[in-house]
Amino acid sequence: MQGITSFLQATLRLATPTLLASLGIVFSERAGIVNIGTEGMMLIGALAGVMGSYYTGSVILGTLIAMLVTVLFVSIFGFFTVIIKADQTVIGTGMNILAAGLTITANRAVFGASTSPPSIDVFDSWRIPLLADIPVIGPALFNQPIPVYLAFLFVPIAGFIMFRTNTGLKLRAVGENPRACDTVGISVTKVRFLAVLYSGVLAGFAGAFVSMGQMSFFTEGIISGGGFMAVAAVVFGNYTPRGVMFSSLVFGAAYALMPRIQAASMGIPGQFILMLPYLITIIALCLVIRRSNRPTSSAVPYIKE
């Protein structure tokens, strides 16, 4: 029982960065933008969060700073893909390298080559009274850092926005048929750019949660594929918030399994256990059967006649 509780708890916590980031890019994907640069956005968020928390002494302020910096960063992506209409994949790859270069340089400049990471304010678990006393699932579901609750509570809200509001309708229409939207007076450029900026808010939050919720410092390889998994989670989740939650939980479970397989010492070399999340991501992409929600104009720039 103890084992199940701690496994569930770890799954939810480890699913959170993927969930946060993919709840952001599911909107920009729906508008027709494929953002392979999500990895870079999370990396920027992770460092900006640590720096923010270091200078302000508050993890909340640090997270807000991370969101702000990531939005500024992703506006470069938006500029090149939405306004200049350059190839989204290539720009996304460039953004990932840019994020790596900027974070390495800034991290060295600010924290220097010191071996011990600076101590910063981080997210603590926040126990919900009564609910956390439920046996087995109580401590797993209701004794988590705040971002975990926020991420999961946001799933139905995101679903509502996407399928029940005018904003969501416009967004999906722009991804399906930008020319028709343009004809009826919806600005494709504006909708896509705002969707990209919005995805930056959540990716920054996701990155900040990795560096200040799962760890308490920044390293150059801190995201190591998390952003790409978020992109995969959107495809695997068939472009809906609920589906994205499901795929994030699958990836979270893969991460949660790793130390447990290691502890069970079944003679599997550690390196093969570390491959698990990446293998699961590949398998998930191969298992996608329903692609019904993939926007027709995905990754196709819109050029006015």
Partner 1 sequence: MKHSLSTKVTNFVRNLYYPIVAIVASLLLGSLVIIATSTTSPIDAYRSLFVGAFGGLRQFDETLLKAIPFIFTALSFAMAKRCGIINLGAEGQFAIGALMGTIVGVSFPNLPLYLHLPLTLIAGFLGGALFGLIPAVLKVQFGASELITTIMLNYIAKELISYFVNGPIMDSASSSYPQSAPIPETARLGRLIPGMRVHWGLVLALLAVLFYYVYLWKTKGGYELRVVGLNPHAGSYAGMNIKRSIIRSMIFAGGFAGLGGCIEIIAVQGRLMMTSFAVSYGFTGIAVALLGSNNPVGIVVAGLLFGGLQNGALKMQAMTTASSSVVLVVQALVILFVAGRLMFRLRTGRYLKQRTLAIPPVAMDERGEQR
Distances (CA, A) of 110 to 47, 104, 106: 11, 10, 6
Within 225-244, which residues bind partner 1 (CB under 8 A)? 225, 228, 231-232, 235
User: Does residue 2 bind partner 1 (CB under 8 A)?
Assistant: no
User: Does residue 215 bind partner 1 (CB under 8 A)?
Assistant: no
- Compute the Cα dihedral for 55, 60, 64, 67 and give only its sign: positive
Which residue among 55, 160, 163, 272 contacts partner 1 (CB under 8 A)? 272
Which residue among 93, 167, 214, 219 contacts partner 1 (CB under 8 A)? 93
Which residue among 224, 246, 258, 293 contacts partner 1 (CB under 8 A)? 224
**90 phi, psi to nearest 5 deg:** -65, -45
User: Does residue 180 bind partner 1 (CB under 8 A)?
Assistant: no
User: Does residue 56 bind partner 1 (CB under 8 A)?
Assistant: no
- Build a one-symbol-per-residue string for 106-145: x at contacts with partner 1 by CB under 8 A, - elsewhere: x-xx------------------------------------
User: Does residue 87 bind partner 1 (CB under 8 A)?
Assistant: yes
- Build a one-symbol-per-residue string for 241-270: x at contacts with partner 1 by CB under 8 A, - elsewhere: ----------------------------x-
With residue 70 as reference, give the H or E element that holds it. helix 59-78
User: Does residue 4 bind partner 1 (CB under 8 A)?
Assistant: no
Contacts of 34 (CB under 8 A, 6+ apart): 88, 89, 92, 231, 298, 299
Distances (CA, A) of 161 to 6, 68, 157: 33, 22, 6
Distances (CA, A) of 117 to 19, 54, 113, 211, 217: 27, 11, 10, 12, 6
- Build a one-symbol-per-residue string for 276-295: x at contacts with partner 1 by CB under 8 A, - elsewhere: --xx-xx--xxxx--x--x-
- Nearer of residues 144 and 297 to partner 1, judged by Cβ: 297
CA distance 267 to 232: 30
Residues forming a β-bridge with 145 = 125
CA distance 160 to 241: 9
Quick one: tokens of 229?
Answer: 């998994």
- Nearer of residues 54 and 154 to partner 1, judged by Cβ: 54
Question: Quick one: which segment of 10-18, 50-58, 247-255, 296-304 binds partner 1 (CB under 8 A)?
Answer: 296-304
Beta strands in the chain, from DSSP E residues, in sequence order: 125-127, 143-145
User: Does residue 303 bind partner 1 (CB under 8 A)?
Assistant: yes
Which residue among 61, 68, 100, 146 contacts partner 1 (CB under 8 A)? 100
